[in-house]
Amino acid sequence: FASTLSTELTREWIEFTSKQDDDTDTADKIKAIEDEFKRLNVRGVFQRAAEGDCYFGRAQIFLEIDGADRGTPLILDPRTVKKGTLSRVVSVEAIWTTPSGYNALDPAAADFYKPSKWYMLGQEVHASRLMTVVTRPLPDILKPAFNFAGMSLSQLAEPYVDNWLRTRQSVADLINNFSTTALATSMDQILQGEDDGADLLDRADLFTATRSNKGLMLLDKEREELVQVNTPLSGLHELQAQSQEHMCSVSRMPAIVLTGISPSGLNASSDGEIRIFYDWIAAQQEAFWREPLEVILKTVQLSLFGEIDPDIGVAFVPLFQMTPKEESEIRLSDSQADCAYVAAGIIDPSEVRDRWAKDPNSG
């Protein structure tokens, strides 16, 4: 669950945007920011952090700024983040951190049950330098019991995984023993205690030794009878598939994404489920991962340029991608509409040309 979710969160990753379309300086800045993000491995850090959120219920990203006091707040200003001082961006597992203090007195306060500082293996670090992401938050009364983490996906998935393992093994055992052969024979003497059962056991050994599709089974015509009991196997595959689907439901992933197996059944299709999953991933990115990403972007700008350019932004690239055929069909319909607008005198051809020149998907 953790590796699949974290991989999908960062698969298409991000793109940097600018409000100034034709500004050469801005383009150079964006190129420098892209190179710095690659040097810092921000993509890998976010993937590792997303895994930690699944495992422990909490993801934390630490910004290492040379010469800065870790216990002081991170103020995004050229006087506090000087050029060339951002050395590392690190994902810290929740097992190594614990809150050093939090406000538990005033429920109306902005920092109520929000740690202002963390102990990171004995080092006190301000919360602004150790950015915390919790995608499955808990009520305030439960936060201290979970060390201010949320509900981990591993906890939520455990009963579903246990059911799946038990169902899988039960189905395998049933298939292995679905047919039972019974030999109805005389057992009077052994049941009355007058015999040690040696003759009966010898009869069973003979039966087992000669039991084969090519063997010949000899039975006493008067006193023995052969009975075969078969357990119906119909519906087992549906029970096993349903148990597997339950694991998909707790992680909100389609079966084709989580397991690589297409859903089975009449008119089964995963296209709609994948689109819904992509929308959910986009919602997760905007709700929980945009804030730390923007903090890193501003810190990178201060470290590179000594200032923050308000025209530069960042956007998550959608996971849903159209095929080249679909893109060409859209361009064709757009071009037909432009021709109609130009022919009607609504817009000028130069306006159409300018718009298409700025569109990276114009073809």
Taking only the tens place, the pLDDT of each residue in 41-93 is 999 999 999 999 999 999 999 999 999 999 999 999 999 999 999 999 999 99
Average pLDDT of the segment spanning 89-99:
95
Residue 37's pLDDT is what? Answer: 96
Half-sphere exposure of 242 (CA within 13 A, CB side): 6
Single-letter residue type at 100 = S
Lay out the sheet containing 59-65: strands in order across: 86-92, 59-65, 130-133
* Length reported for the chain: 363
Instruction: Specify the 3-state DSSP secondary structure of 131.
Output: strand
Read off the tokens for 215.
């063997």
Higher pLDDT, 12 or 227: 12
Residue 266's pLDDT is what? Answer: 45
Answer yes or no: is pLDDT of 244 > 90: no
**Are the C-beta atoms of 263 and 242 separated by less than 8 Å?**
no
Read off the tokens for 255.
């079966």
Residue 130's pLDDT is what? Answer: 95
Residue 168's pLDDT is what? Answer: 85
Taking only the tens place, the pLDDT of each residue in 151-210 is 999 999 999 999 989 988 888 888 777 777 777 777 665 666 666 667 777 777 877 777
Answer yes or no: is pLDDT of 133 > 80: yes
How many CB atoms sit inside 10 A of residue 107's CB?
9
Answer yes or no: is pLDDT of 137 > 50: yes
**Are the C-beta atoms of 317 and 14 separated by less than 8 Å?**
yes
* E strand or H helix at 159: helix 153-176
User: Which of 28-42, 56-70, 222-236, 271-285 is least confident?
Assistant: 222-236
What's the pTM? 0.79
**Are the C-beta atoms of 96 and 120 separated by less than 8 Å?**
yes
As a whole number, the mean pLDDT across the chain is 87
Pairing of strands 14-18, 59-65: unpaired
Read off the tokens for 313.
């932004």
Answer yes or no: is pLDDT of 231 > 80: no
Residues in Cβ contact with 131 at an 8 Å cutoff, skipping those fewer than 6 apart: 60, 61, 62, 63, 291, 292, 295
Answer yes or no: is pLDDT of 263 > 70: no
How many whole angstroms separate alpha carbon 269 and alpha carbon 271?
A: 6
